[in-house]
Amino acid sequence: MLNQSKRAAELRSLLNQAAHAYYVLDAPTMENTVYDCLYRELLNLEQNDSSLLSPDSPTQRVGGSPAERFTSVKHRIGLLSLDNAFNYDDLKAWNQRLLRALNLPLGSPLEVVSELKIDGNALALSYRQGVIERAATRGDGQQGEEITANVCTISSIPLRLQIDQPPDWVEVRGEAFIPDAAFTAINAEREARGEALFANPRNACAGTLRQLDPKVVSARRLDFFAYTLHLPSSQRLASQWEALNWLERAGFRVNPNRALCPDLMSINSFSVQWEQKRHVLPYATDGVVAKLNSLALQDKAGCTQKSPRWAIALKFPAQEVPSRLLRIAVQVGRTGVITPVAEFEPVNLAGTNVSRATLHNANRLAELDLHINDTVVVRKAGEIIPEVVTVLAKLRPPNAEIACLPNSCPECGSLLVRGKNEAATRCVNNSCPAILRGALIHWVSKSALDVDGLGIKLIEQLVYQGLAHSVADLYRLNSTLLSGLEHIGKRSAINLIKALEKSKQQPWHRQLYGLGIHHIGEVNAKVLAAEFPSIEELQTAAITDPERILNLRGIGSEISEDLRQWLKNPNNQRLLNELKSVGLTLRVTDKEKINDLNHSISNGPLLSKTFAITGTLPSLSRSAAKELIQAAGGKVSSSINKTTNYLVAGKEAGKKLSKAKNLGITVLDEASLQDLLNKPHSINEHPDL
């Protein structure tokens, strides 16, 4: 109980500070979504225990107090705010409250206008005899600041209504905003002048509207969407839909993305659709506003103290919310780098449940000064992995324990190491299962050896059952061993062995990339493989002629040093030997050579020669032999006839061999085929050709 009253007091103070920064200082310190969540937490505490209510609670206030630079004016009709809905259930609850207020049976249809919720600043515009008379900010909803001169610089606001015989008075409400492009330009200029940057377009807009010099406002390219119309009662329209059309006719910009919705489902799908598409709009939106279409029914439903019953803001899923930090976990990457991961109470972020977020590295962890049970703000924008952006240290419970990285690797227990001037902390135990798992995942990945059918689950089993101590061990597996594991049937096991076998033919640069040497990504691997056609040549250069590596495109001293260290390491030398012994070439293959040749010699060396293959060749699979022949311009046929030039024959050759002999066709073993492929010009010297 004591805890709860303390928490409520802390929340009150934090939220009041945030509101002051937002409304009065024009310098927000907290994302709206974070504010909303904490506000709801406070509201909940107060609702469960009314003794926690206090007059200074932000829940007891309608809006922020107006700043004092401008004249304060009373609104003709108060500017209310909107209740929020965050999901379909909230939307249903709103609909039920509304039906009750209208005395209608549950389930009765209600027509609703769905509009985009523009993330800007509300304005109230008064027109007298069709001419703009006054423009004011929302202020606290009852009183705002008079900013007519500034508003008159916004070109999408008509100074005179474009209608014949305008009503005596007209009140128009809408949202002033700064389009994204203008916002970027404003901040770029401010940066160039060394001025503080605006946090977001809404904040820039609020700051601009309160500029004392209208010329500054005019230069900031503000814009305005009108969404509410008040007319004298004798001239009232029947619906919100008509009001929007009226506003358009009168010369206002009305957001074109609006829909008449017959039911809740269609409001929801309008919202889902815009949640996905909103980033293509040139201005910020943060949800959808659903409004009862009939103005007569709006009147009947009425308002609560703070908001109309006839409207609701359906907010897009938050991309930034608070949560409570439970513990720090760590992930060990394939290079041994340790990534701290924050585990927190599950929250809904951008529509998905999230309970873990990256903390990047030990520096970031220290910078945030995280403590267990801290209230942290987590963010997930677009496809990006969730991250902890900040900690609300004010809400820290007493005696909270500081959160730090462990001293030892959670996977193998060995002591973690952090190099001087390095942000990364590493596990340097080469046989750490996490590092091995990462190395295997990398080796079989699409851009490396591209082995089909070897997923993370299977790799984990191979590591934890001691079946793979290195990537070379993958080539020692057999289908019987594999089919004893979980999640893999006999057929998949056979296919996997085939895929592994096939992977031995991958080009040298992919094998080099697959080794996962620090800094040797796909591009560097290609550059190195082009210069050094085999691992031996690369090793020799690294020891005797490092300059040669250094001079290569994109390879600086750091990369070349990493490479040298890697090649020097006895464990890695052992790995390279093992890879060779299981059949990896670690060099430019014949196929690559022939491919290269194909680039330089447009006619392949085996052009227009037809081959057939029979029996088992000592090292090449049939399909590999076929690819090699084809890469050199030859054709491979499945049968033999007079037009066949060569038969490549291995062990247990069948009928094709005797047929070839009968037809006088030249029979090659694998070595002779390799000879043909390696010395293409000898083809011309061959007596049979």
175 vs 320, beta carbon nearer ligand IVH? 175
Under rule CB under 6 A, which residues in 619-648 are in contact with ligand IVH? none
Give me the least distance between CB of 85 and ligand IVH, in Å please.
Answer: 11
Determine contact, residues 332/408, Cβ cutoff 8 Å. Answer: no
Interface region with ligand IVH, contact rule CB under 6 A, candidates 161-169, 305-313, 455-463, 568-576: 305-313
Please, are residues 625 and 677 in contact by the beta-carbon 8 Å criterion? no
In the complex with ligand IVH, the residue whose CB is nearer, 250 or 311, is 311
Task: Candidates 37, 38, 45, 122: give the one binding ligand IVH (CB under 6 A).
Answer: 122
Instruction: Candidates 308, 438, 514, 633: give the one binding ligand IVH (CB under 6 A).
Output: 308
Tell me how far, at minimum, the Cβ of 143 lies from ligand IVH, in Å: 15
Looking at beta carbons only, is 39 or 227 nearer to ligand IVH? 227
The answer to whether 555 contacts ligand IVH (rule: CB under 6 A) is no
| Alpha-carbon gap, residue 681 to 607, rounded angstroms | 12
Using CB under 6 A, which of 311, 391, 588, 649 touches ligand IVH? 311
80 binding ligand IVH? (CB under 6 A): yes
Is 117 designated active site? Answer: yes
What is the separation of C-alpha 250 from the centre of its chain, rounded to a whole number of angstroms?
42
Q: Which is nearer to ligand IVH, 113 or 629 (CB)?
A: 113
DSSP 509-532: HHHHHHTT-TT--HHHHHHHHHH-
User: Which of 35, 94, 227, 611 is in the footprint of ligand IVH by CB under 6 A?
Assistant: 227
Judged by CB, which is closer to ligand IVH: 91, or 677?
91
Provide the angle, in degrees to the nearest 10, between the axes of the packed helices 570-581 and 557-568: 70
Phi-psi region of 519 (alpha: psi -120 to 50; beta: other; left: phi over 0): left
* Shortest separation between residue 261's beta carbon and ligand IVH, angstroms: 14
Which member of 10, 115, 223, 320 binds ligand IVH (CB under 6 A)?
Answer: 115
**Which residue lies nearer to ligand IVH by CB, 28 or 605?**
28
CA distances from 272 to 119, 203, 276, 351, 439 (A): 17, 26, 7, 10, 40
Instruction: Give how far the C-alpha of residue 521 lies from the chain's centroid of Cα atoms, to the nearest Å.
Output: 22
Shortest Cβ 521–ligand IVH spacing (Å): 46
Name the helix (H) or strand (E) containing 647: strand 646-649
Q: Which of 6, 74, 92, 117 is catalytic?
A: 117
Q: Which residue is nearest to ligand IVH (CB)?
A: 122
Q: How far is the CB of 346 from ligand IVH (least distance, A)?
A: 27
Window contacting ligand IVH (CB under 6 A); options: 12-20, 116-124, 342-350, 447-455: 116-124
Identity of the amino acid at 326: L
Contact call for residue 313 and ligand IVH (CB under 6 A): yes
Residue with smaller CB distance to ligand IVH, 236 or 659: 236
Of 115 and 670, CB closest to ligand IVH: 115
- Asked if 426 contacts 336 with a C-beta cutoff of 8 angstroms, the reply is yes
Q: Between 154 and 193, how does the x/- string for binding to ligand IVH read (CB under 6 A)?
A: ---------------------x------------------
The DSSP annotation for 336-393 comes to SEEEEEEEEEEEEETTEEEEEEE--SHHHHHHHT-BTT-EEEEE--TTSPPEEEEE-G
In the complex, minimum distance from the CB of residue 262 to ligand IVH, in angstroms, rounded to a whole number: 19
Distance CA 403, CA 325 (A): 9
Least Å distance, CB 349 to ligand IVH, is 21
Binding mask 1-20 toward ligand IVH (x if CB under 6 A, else -) reads: --------------------
Q: Are 474 and 501 in contact (CB under 8 A)?
A: no
Structure tokens at 343: 């585990």
| CA neighbor of 258 nearest in space, from 237, 238, 273 | 273
> Is 637 in contact with 609 (CB distance < 8 Å)?
no
Q: Could you say which of 12, 117, 396, 426 contacts ligand IVH (CB under 6 A)?
A: 117
Residue pair 449/514 in contact by the 8 Å Cβ criterion: yes
Task: Please state, in angstroms and rounded to a whole number, the distance separating the CA atoms of residues 253 and 282.
Answer: 15
How far apart are CB 252 and ligand IVH at their closest, in Å? 13
Q: What is the DSSP letter of 51?
A: G
Determine the interface stretch with ligand IVH among 306-314, 510-518, 598-606, 680-688 (rule: CB under 6 A).
306-314
Sign of CA dihedral 241, 243, 248, 254: negative
Please tell me whether residue 615 adopts helix, strand or coil conformation.
coil
The distance of closest approach from Cβ of residue 468 to ligand IVH in the complex, given in angstroms and rounded to an integer, is: 57
What are 303's strand-pairing partners? 308
Residue 286 vs 501, nearer CB to ligand IVH: 286
Q: Which of 8, 14, 15, 82 binds ligand IVH (CB under 6 A)?
A: 82
Which of 103-111, 117-125, 179-187, 377-385 is the region at the interface with ligand IVH (rule: CB under 6 A)? Answer: 117-125
CB of 302 closer than 8 Å to CB of 309: yes
Minimum Å gap between C-beta 385 and ligand IVH is 30
How many C-alpha atoms does 140 have within 13 Å on its Cβ side? 16
Q: Does 118 bind ligand IVH (CB under 6 A)?
A: yes
Whether 640 and 660 have beta carbons less than 8 Å apart is answered as yes
Give the span between the Cα atoms of 106 and 274, in whole angstroms.
28
Contact stretch for ligand IVH (CB under 6 A) within 113-121, 348-356, 592-600, 675-683: 113-121
Size of interface with ligand IVH, in residues (CB under 6 A): 14
CB of 174 to ligand IVH, least distance (A): 8
Residue nearer to ligand IVH on the CB measure, 33 or 560:
33
State the DSSP string of 396-458.
PPTTPPBP---SB-TTT-PBEEE-TT-S-EEE--TT-HHHHHHHHHHHHSTTTT--TT--HHH
Q: Is 289 in the site for ligand IVH (CB under 6 A)?
A: yes
Position 81 contacts ligand IVH (CB under 6 A): yes
Residue 142 as a binder of ligand IVH (CB under 6 A): the answer is: no
Decide: is 379 part of the binding site for ligand IVH (CB under 6 A). no
CA dist 157 and 167 (Å) reads 18
What are the angstrom distances between the C-alpha of 389 and each of 127, 320, 379, 402?
Answer: 45, 9, 7, 17
DSSP-assigned letters across all residues of 83-135: -EE-SHHHHHHHHHHHHHHTT--TT----EEEEEEESSEEEEEEEETTEEEEE
636: number of CA atoms within 13 Å, CB side?
14
**Residue 135 or 313 with smaller CB distance to ligand IVH:** 313
We find the least distance from the C-beta atom of residue 78 to ligand IVH, in angstroms, to be 9
Q: Which stretch binds ligand IVH (CB under 6 A): 180-188, 307-315, 392-400, 521-529?
A: 307-315
Residues designated as active site: 117
Name the residues that contact ligand IVH, by CB under 6 A: 80-82, 115, 117-118, 122, 175, 227-228, 289, 308, 311, 313
